[in-house]
Homo-oligomer: A and B are copies of this chain.
Amino acid sequence: MSILVVGSIGLDTVKTPVEEHTDLVGGSASYAALSASFFTPVNLVGIVGSDFPESEFQFWKSRDIDTSGVQRVSGKTFRWSGEYAWDLNTRETRSIALNVFEHFRPALPPKYRESPFVLLANIAPKLQSHVLDQMERPRFVVADTMDLWIETTRADLEALLRRVDLLILNDSEAREITKETSLIRAGRKIRGFGPRYVAIKKGEHGALLFGQKEFFSCGAYPLEDIHDPTGAGDTFAGGLAGYVAAHAGEKVSFELLRKAMIYGSVLASFCVEAFSLDRLRKLTEKEIADRYQMFKLMSQFEALT
């Protein structure tokens, strides 16, 4: 079934210790939507300026990503520029220009309002809530967030969390929002804020998933060379939510979420192999299936098949 994906769409400048590239298509929704599209049709919501490449709309169309919810307005597209440290584990934002994003109010086309699945990729919690306000009882809502919103719009974020089924955030954010040092305590505590499920991303260390009593832990795919970590978290969220939308039966079970975590990890592992969306653009279903098998091989210790 289709999934609605809302978030930022931007043009990035990314500098690693090895390379620098400008005007890359980026933003949380760009990564998440493309990642989800490997599993299910996507209804995309966002905003771009007149400088945004028309070719990207053609590409979205080819991927069964509906763009009737993407506003194109006069002015410049949202721009972000960042630089990674030598080990690619930390990055510094060099500049942000909101541009057309400054006055963005997501407006859902009528046909989007019944999307049964929703991924609120990383944008301000108020905008994420505004999208939910326009929807008719979605079955499963996934939200991603970041430290900025925990620090600056905590009340908005807490209001959102009461309406979310699965929250995705990274390890430092989980610690920040709960003031707990143990990720296990943090994950469980965040469930108290509203979400039935919480996924904590740990980068090279994999990810954790918390349910009411259930717990799941998975490693990251063993990559020797990472070229650009930008968008890995968004890609993880998109793959996870897209897999859920494609395979959920009557209800979204913890067993389904386990597999979705692996598919999210698989997609994220491809994302970082090249700058921007370059690796995902040419990704095949066969490559996804092969890497899923690798995840089985690397994590199972009984009854290997």
Contact = CB atoms under 8 A, between A and B. Distances in A.
B258 A224 contact: no
Interface string A292-305: 00011111111111
Given A205-B205, A222-B217, A298-B215, A181 B261 contact: no
Contacts of A72: none
A279 interface: no
A224 B222 CA distance: 27
A262 interface: yes
A298 to B, nearest CB: 5
Interface in A253-283: 255, 258-259, 261-262
A182 B226 contact: yes
A259 B255 CA distance: 23
Interface in A226-266: 226, 255, 258-259, 261-262
Interface stretch (A73-81, A131-139, A183-191): A183-191
A259 B302 contact: yes
Interface string A84-106: 00111100000000000000000
Given A87-B181, A181-B86, A183-B204, A258 B301 contact: yes
Nearest to A216: B298
B222 A298 contact: no
B255 A304 contact: yes
**Copies of chain A in the complex:** 2
Contacts of A185: 224
A216 B182 contact: no
A182 B262 CA distance: 21
Interface in A134-192: 181-185, 188
A188 B302 contact: no
Contacts of A182: 204, 223-226
B224 A184 contact: yes
Nearest to A185: B224
A288 interface: no
A116 interface: no
Contacts of A295: 301
Contact of A301 (B181, B183, B262): B262
19 contacts: A88-B181, A182-B223, A184-B223, A184-B224, A205-B206, A206-B206, A206-B217, A215-B298, A216-B298, A217-B219, A217-B298, A217-B299, A218-B219, A218-B299, A219-B219, A259-B301, A295-B301, A296-B302, A303-B303
Interface of A: 86-89, 181-185, 188, 202, 204-206, 208, 215-220, 222-226, 255, 258-259, 261-262, 295-305
